[in-house]
Amino acid sequence: MAGYTDTSENQFATAILTLGALSVITVFTGIFPSLLGGIGLILCVVGHKKGSLRTPGEMLGMVLCATGIFLGIAMVVLAFVSILFPYYNDPELFAQINEVYKNYGIDLQGMIEGMMPVTQ
């Protein structure tokens, strides 16, 4: 049939493109871009018919999903580094935070020294 297009391919392409766009838009939320991008990439693999070319919508969706995953992970790492670095460099503030952790039975100083041996 001339002009026949498989609607399931169009629906997958639309879903992938939508999830990719949402993953890039929600990049500042931290975890959502990784979830949305991961679901989009899974749909891209599951919805692709073997031996056929990917549509431009699928390709753009894949790029957006991968970008969202990368930026989401980068934002989470940046958040942890920007939060922990100042606390560890200010001994007075770090001691206060360690006291709060000790109330919950966690020795933050010992935990950090266990992961990163102190060299003097």
Q: Domain spans of the chain?
A: 7-77, 90-120
- pLDDT value of residue 20: 92
- pLDDT value of residue 6: 55
- pLDDT value of residue 115: 59
- pLDDT value of residue 70: 94
With a cut of 50, which residues of the chain have pLDDT below it?
Answer: 1-4, 117-120
All residues at 6 or more sequence positions from 13 whose CB lies less than 8 Å from its CB, including other chains: 47, 55, 57, 58, 61
Residue with tokens 């549509």: 55
User: pTM of the predicted model, to two decimals?
Assistant: 0.65
All residues at 6 or more sequence positions from 97 whose CB lies less than 8 Å from its CB, including other chains: 87, 108
- pLDDT value of residue 18: 92
- pLDDT value of residue 114: 66
- pLDDT value of residue 49: 74
- pLDDT value of residue 78: 87
- pLDDT value of residue 109: 73
- pLDDT value of residue 5: 54
